Amino acid sequence: MSFTAKHLLGIETLPPAAITALLDRADHYVDLSRSDNKHGDALAGLTQINMFFENSTRTQASFELAGKRLGADVMNMAMQASSIKKGETLIDTAVTLNAMHPDLIVVRHPQSGAVDLLAQKVNCAILNAGDGKHEHPTQALLDALTIRRNKGRLHRLNIAICGDIAHSRVARSNIMLLGKMENRVRLVGPPTLMPSGVAELGVEVYDDMAQGLEGCDVVMMLRLQRERMDGGFIPSEREYFHRYGLDADKLSHAAPDAIVMHPGPMNRGVEIDGAIADDPRVSVIQEQVEMGVAVRMAAMDLLAQNLRAARAAQGAA
Partner 1 sequence: MTTTLITNARLIDPETGRDAPGWLRIKDGLIAETGTSGDPGPAERLVDAGGHCLAPGIIDLGVKVCEPGERHKESYASAGRAAAAGGVTTMVVRPDTQPAIDTPEVLEFALRRAAADSAVNVLAIAALTKGREGREMTEIGFLRDAGAVAFSDGDAVCTNAKVLARAMTYASSLGALIIAHPQDPSLSAGAAVTSGKFATLKGLPGVSPMAERMGLDRDIALIEMTGARYHADQITTARALPALARAKANGLDITAGTSIHHLTLNSLDVGDYRTFFKVKPPLRDEDDRMALIEALSSGLIDTISSMHTPQDEESKRLPYEEAASGAVGLETLLPAALRLFHSGQITLPRLFGALSFGPAKRLGLPAGRLAKGAPADLVLFDPGAPFVLDRFKLKSKSKNTPFDGARMQGRVLGTWVGGTRVHAP
Contact residues: partner 1, CB under 8 A:
12, 89-91, 109, 111-114, 116-117, 131-135, 169, 172, 195-198, 200-201, 230
Residue of 220, 245, 166, 237 whose CA lies nearest to 198 = 166
Report the residue number, 202 or 269, with the smaller CB distance to partner 1. 202
Distance from CA of residue 195 to its chain's centroid? 19
DSSP 157-221: -EEEEES--TT-HHHHHHHHHHHHTT-EEEEES-GGGS-TTGGGGT-EEES-HHHHHTT-SEEEE
Q: Is 139 annotated for ligand binding? A: yes
Report the residue number, 133 or 180, with the smaller CB distance to partner 1. 133
Report the residue number, 36 or 200, with the smaller CB distance to partner 1. 200
Q: Are strands 184-188 and 204-206 parallel, antiparallel or unpaired?
A: parallel
Per the rule left: phi > 0, alpha: psi between -120 and 50, beta: everything else, 229 is beta
Report the residue number, 118 or 258, with the smaller CB distance to partner 1. 118
CB 154 to partner 1: min, Å: 22
Q: Is 138 annotated for ligand binding? A: no
Q: Is 136 annotated for ligand binding? A: yes
CB 43 to partner 1: min, Å: 28
- Name residues whose C-beta falls within 8 Å of residue 315's C-beta, 6 or more positions apart in sequence: none
Q: Is 253 annotated for ligand binding? A: no
CB 148 to partner 1: min, Å: 25
Report the residue number, 70 or 203, with the smaller CB distance to partner 1. 203
CB 128 to partner 1: min, Å: 11
Report the residue number, 71 or 195, with the smaller CB distance to partner 1. 195
Q: Is 108 annotated for ligand binding? A: yes
104-109, strands of its sheet edge to edge:
73-78, 47-52, 104-109, 125-131
Please, what sign has the CA dihedral across residues 238, 242, 244, 246?
Answer: positive
Total count of residues recorded for the chain: 317
Please, what sign has the CA dihedral across residues 60, 63, 67, 68?
Answer: positive
CB 157 to partner 1: min, Å: 23
DSSP E strand stretches across the chain: 47-52, 73-78, 104-109, 125-131, 158-162, 184-188, 204-206, 218-221, 259-261
Q: Is 265 annotated for ligand binding? A: yes
CB 199 to partner 1: min, Å: 9
Which positions make up the binding site for L-aspartate?
Answer: 86, 169, 223
Which positions make up the binding site?
Answer: 58-59, 86, 108, 136, 139, 169, 223, 264-265
Which positions make up the binding site for carbamoyl phosphate?
Answer: 58-59, 108, 136, 139, 264-265
